[in-house]
Amino acid sequence: MTTDPDCIFCKIIAGEAPAAVVARDEAAIAFMDVNPITPGHLLVVPCDHHVSFGTIPGAILSHMMLTAQWLAAALQASPIRTEGINLWLADGAAAGQEVWHAHLHVIPRWSGDGLRISALRGARPGGDELEQHAATIRAAAAD
Ligand code: 5GP
Ligand code: ZN
């Protein structure tokens, strides 16, 4: 198991720091966010220490996503107010990552819950620009 002694999520996984754990297995753990955006806010975390989304092995990433789906259903079946769900993954400081052990947020949502995700979108780019970006990304994509 890959671990970082200075990482708070590794400490939780090792049982060296407290957390309200909902589920865990060999690959991933799910626990309550200590400072929830809405009640029921969960984090799904790989047991191995991966800083970034990009280095999580595919099988573990798939397992994290299936765990998030399963927990979303549990939230919806529970008395915790859940009219919708947002999944959120912050990869990198510019994206808002604050804990450097990759994790997937599962956030119960309801109309009027106060969470705002705002964006300053400009005008729609022309089709040429979209095609150019698609070609640039295709060229950069690893096989
Ligand atoms: P990020 O911005 O990195 O995606 O989010 C980190 C999340 O981890 C935040 O929502 C924060 O409240 C949560 N968090 C930070 N430290 C702890 C901790 O020690 N225990 C738990 N349960 N959650 C934490
Ligand atoms: Zn860690």
Tell which atom from ligand 1 comes closest to the C-alpha of 99: 3
Residue 29 is predicted with a pLDDT of 98
At 83, the pLDDT band (50, 70, 90 cuts) reads very high
For the chain, domain boundaries:
8-118
Q: For residue 88, which atom of ligand 1 is closest to its CA?
A: 4
Going by CA atoms, what residue is nearest to atom 18 of ligand 1? 34
Is a pLDDT exceeding 80 seen at residue 143?
A: no
pLDDT of residue 110: 97
CATH class of 8-118: alpha beta
Alpha helices (H) along 1-143? 8-13, 58-77, 127-140
Report how far residue 91's alpha carbon sits from residue 51's, in angstroms, rounded to the nearest whole number: 9
Report the pLDDT value the prediction gives residue 1, as an integer from 0 to 100: 84
Pocket around ligand 1: residues whose beta carbon is below 6 Å from it? 8, 19, 31-35, 90, 96-99
**C-alpha–C-alpha distance, residues 14 and 94, integer Å:** 29
pLDDT, residue 133, reads 96
Contact (Cβ atoms closer than 8 angstroms) between residue 28 and residue 14: no
Q: What's the pLDDT score for residue 34?
A: 98
Largest CA distance in the chain: 54
Residue 142 pLDDT level (bands cut at 50, 70, 90): confident
